[in-house]
């Protein structure tokens, strides 16, 4: 059975808006194939993502969603067991960390040291969070990034992505983050394990060449780039990363 792996930001959504034609296109895919929703965005839990998709008219269960926050929480648990974590991120990241049994360090105890600082997109990021994160890293905590995407596509342009926050911590600490999200193996291994299908039976649909398309290509998946997010027809021409197909939007998936 074929499987489609669909990115969210720039493919299904731009900010709070649903991209025109996305619900009908995705539901058509669901009629004949498995669909997994895969996002580097850690701001929402898998349950919240599923609820948002259903509210948009797209059939989805929580188990059909993998976020970078979930993948990070699972990766840490499988490799290290339950850990004490100082999160720089939003409610979705904290929810997934707790769900995997990790202890959340609120950052109030100056003598306490977390095992890991885990960083995702945080639209309430402050200098104080940067300070506490740096203190923990310099005291020995590992640095894990849900992703290093520089931009987040929204309704009328772009916002800074999680990568901007990760780079601040890397610059201050002199340490490099271990990155979970696309195109890196922890995220893609979680996809393969979840689907239980060979990679050549999967098609990855995304809006970024350097995360979505690169990830799919590395794993031997078919890849489709949509032009409703970050990359453009011009950036495709200039890039060494080549998708198998380029379409205007997810609404055109029936033509592939």
Catalytic choice (9, 64, 115, 212):
9
- Partnered with residue 222 across adjacent β-strands are 203
Catalytic choice (7, 115, 207, 212):
7
3 state SS of 149: coil
3 state SS of 152: strand
The pLDDT-based confidence of 256 (bands split at 50, 70, 90) is: low
Q: Report pLDDT for 252.
A: 95
The verdict on whether 7 is a catalytic residue reads yes
pLDDT at 156 over 90: no
CA distance 148 to 130: 16
The pLDDT-based confidence of 43 (bands split at 50, 70, 90) is: very high
* Sheet of strand 116-119: strand arrangement: 103-104, 84-88, 116-119, 142-145, 178-179
Domains of the chain: 3-68+182-255 (3.40.50.1000), 80-179 (3.40.50.1000)
The verdict on whether 9 is a catalytic residue reads yes
Average pLDDT over residues 76-89: 98
């Amino acid at each position: 059975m074929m499987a489609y792996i669909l990115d969210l930001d720039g493919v299904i959504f731009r900010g709070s808006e649903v991209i025109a034609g996305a619900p009908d296109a995705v539901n058509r895919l669901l009629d004949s194939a498995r669909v997994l929703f895969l996002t580097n965005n850690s701001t929402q839990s898998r349950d919240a993502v599923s609820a948002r998709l259903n509210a948009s008219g797209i059939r989805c269960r929580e188990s059909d969603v993998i976020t970078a926050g979930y993948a990070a929480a699972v990766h840490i648990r499988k490799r290290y067991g339950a850990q004490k974590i100082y999160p720089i991120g939003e409610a979705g990241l904290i929810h997934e960390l707790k769900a995997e049994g990790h202890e959340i360090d609120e950052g109030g105890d100056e003598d306490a040291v977390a095992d890991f600082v885990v960083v995702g997109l945080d639209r309430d990021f402050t200098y104080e969070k940067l300070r506490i994160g740096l203190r923990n890293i310099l005291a020995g905590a590992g640095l894990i990034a849900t992703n290093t995407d520089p931009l987040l596509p929204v309704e009328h342009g772009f916002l800074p992505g999680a990568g901007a926050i990760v780079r601040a911590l890397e610059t201050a600490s002199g340490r490099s983050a271990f990155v979970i999200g696309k195109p890196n193996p922890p995220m893609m291994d979680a996809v393969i394990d979840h689907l239980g299908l060979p990679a050549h039976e999967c098609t990855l649909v995304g809006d970024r060449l350097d995360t979505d398309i690169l990830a799919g290509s590395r794993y031997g998946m078919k890849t489709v780039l949509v032009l409703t997010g970050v990359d453009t027809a011009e950036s495709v021409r200039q890039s060494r990363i080549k998708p198998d197909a380029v379409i205007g939007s997810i609404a055109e998936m029936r033509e592939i």
